[in-house]
Structure 1
Amino acid sequence: MAHPQDPKKAAAAAYWRENIRLLLTLLVIWFAVSFGAGILFVDFLDQFQMGGFPLGFWFAQQGSIYTFVILIFVYAWQMNRLDHKYNVYEEEDEA
């Protein structure tokens, strides 16, 4: 006789699936910006200017760093939403 799956285990598996999907999405964006814009497509992007510098150079020097910092904030924001969705968030102390 088949046993129904434990709801807590199913919720935990769904939580980690969404967590891994988010992480992989953000890593792909980071890779595309840092490696793609900074190395692979630098010659094409250098046709354009940003702040007086070629765009490919800008991405290699500044853009990938800015993107990485933004991705950190996006990850924290999305994980807070995910934690609340699956009711696994930490209670905040009210002072």
Structure 2
Amino acid sequence: MDEQQRLAYWRANTALIRNLLIVWALVSLVFSILLVETLNKIQFFGVPFGFWMAQQGSILVFVVLIFIYAFQMDKLDQKYNNKK
């Protein structure tokens, strides 16, 4: 892999990480802390949605983000033929 491909690979990698961290921040900070009072007005499976997001929803989102990262990195490695 030449230097230009290596830079493109790392730009794509850091962009993926940045985007997933933005989702992580939205879920953990905005939905689970800042908007909890507003979201608590919505009932979800019999409990306030803000509470559910803080307790269960954020964990589920984090697990999904791990799988998305792994899947996207596999695609990125194949695209740039980055075999280790």
Structure 1 length-normalised TM: 0.85
Which of 68, 73, 77 is 1:83 aligned to?
Answer: 77
Summarize deviations over 1:64-92 as a string: whole Å, max 9, x none.
000000000000000000000000034xx
Pair 1:37-2:31 in alignment: yes
The equivalent of 1:3 in structure 2 is: none
Pair 1:52-2:49 in alignment: no
Question: Aligned-residue CA RMSD in angstroms?
Answer: 1.0
The equivalent of 2:18 in structure 1 is: 24
Summarize deviations over 1:10-32 as a string: whole Å, max 9, x none.
00000000000000100110110
SS in structure 1 opposite 2:2?
helix
Distance 1:54 1:85, change over 3 A: same
Structure 2 length-normalised TM: 0.96
2: CA distance between counterparts of 1:42 and 1:48?
Answer: 10
Q: Tell me: higher relative CO, structure 1 or 2? Use CA pairs within 8 A at least 6 residues apart.
A: 2
Offset of residue 49 of structure 1: 1.0
Runs of 4+ in 1 over 3 A off after TM superposition: none
